[in-house]
Amino acid sequence: MGENIVYKEPIIFCENLVKIYKTIETEVLALQGLDLIVEPGEILAIMGSSGSGKSTLLNMLGGLDRPSAGSLVVDNYDLMKLTDAQMVEYKRKTVSFIWQNSARNLLPYLTALENVELPMQIAGNLDRAVAKEMLKIVGLENREKSKLFQLSGGEQQRVAIALALVNKPKILLADEPTGAVDNATADMIMHMFREINKELGITIIIVTHDLQLSSKVDRVVQIRDGRTSTEYIRRQYTPETNAGFSYNDAENTHSHSATHDEYVVLDKVGRLQIPSEMMTKAGLTGKSRVRLVFEDGKITIIPFTE
């Protein structure tokens, strides 16, 4: 009956994830029931407006913050239950960060090679050959003795990528990695992510506002009001077609409609977020009640009228 299907255990499992930030005067609900499953070896983008919760999610995946409620399991680590010592181990072995601002990744008074070696020195397992190999992977084997002021912004970001790879993490978390570089450099960085993902099998999650960048991944997760609301999944993908895609090809692209199919996320209790433009077209804006009709295998939403 055809080929056997092998189901992988998710490397990231979020269910009904909640994060509340409290101060003396107020409470902020940053995530309010977010669900997300990521398979090993995926490369995906997370998008959302400011305040949507995407950076909060990234910080929790990276062990920089802890959930308030719900489930968050990453590479079999239950991040709700880890001790401080276990969290340190998790951050050293499982995840690595790349930030938009290279100053958060790199030390300016060190050379490119010394920066890449630093995580291994901290962990007590310095291996210069591995550090040099990481610089080679990002195409900077000839700049290992250069200090940051001698490198362009794109080169600095490539050093940051090499540094993030040196401890062989399973998950690479990138926060606006192309936000401070030009289109050509952004294109090169995205191509590098693809190659790293393919060659090393690392799961890569990119938080971005950049529609052009997000159009180059197979899956885009949209977060709105602290929940996953929409996913965009590439219609057809081959390495050959992606290799030919550049930022110039997407200059006038304002959505994923040309390359991806859009799906609204339905959670386990039946909640979904209808896109605002569809709400407006269907006359649902401002309605607190609607009628659901099941007919011919389809659910129709009908505005409530007095």
Mean pLDDT, range 108-114, rounded to an integer: 92
> What is the C-alpha to C-alpha distance for residues 258 and 235, in angstroms, rounded to an integer?
9
Structural domain boundaries in the chain:
12-94+169-241+252-273, 275-306
CATH, domain range 12-94+169-241+252-273: 3.40.50.300
Q: With pLDDT > 70 as the criterion, what percentage of the chain qualifies?
A: 88
Q: How confident is the model at residue 236 (pLDDT cuts 50, 70, 90)?
A: low
CA atoms within 13 A on the CB side of 185: 13
Segment 205-226 shows an average pLDDT of 83
CB 39, CB 202: distance < 8 Å: no
Q: What is the mean pLDDT of the chain?
A: 82
And the tokens for 220? 């885009």
> How far from each other are the two terminal CA atoms of the chain, in whole angstroms?
54
In sequence order, which residues have a C-beta less than 8 Å from that of residue 28 and are 6 or more positions away? 20, 21, 22
Instruction: Choose among 250, 248, 253, 294: nearest CA to 270.
Output: 294
**Across 287-299, average pLDDT:** 82
- How many other C-beta atoms are found inside a 10 Å radius of the C-beta of residue 118? 17
Per residue in 24-35, pLDDT (tens digit) is 778 888 888 889
Tokens of 155: 């080169």
Average pLDDT over residues 197-213: 86
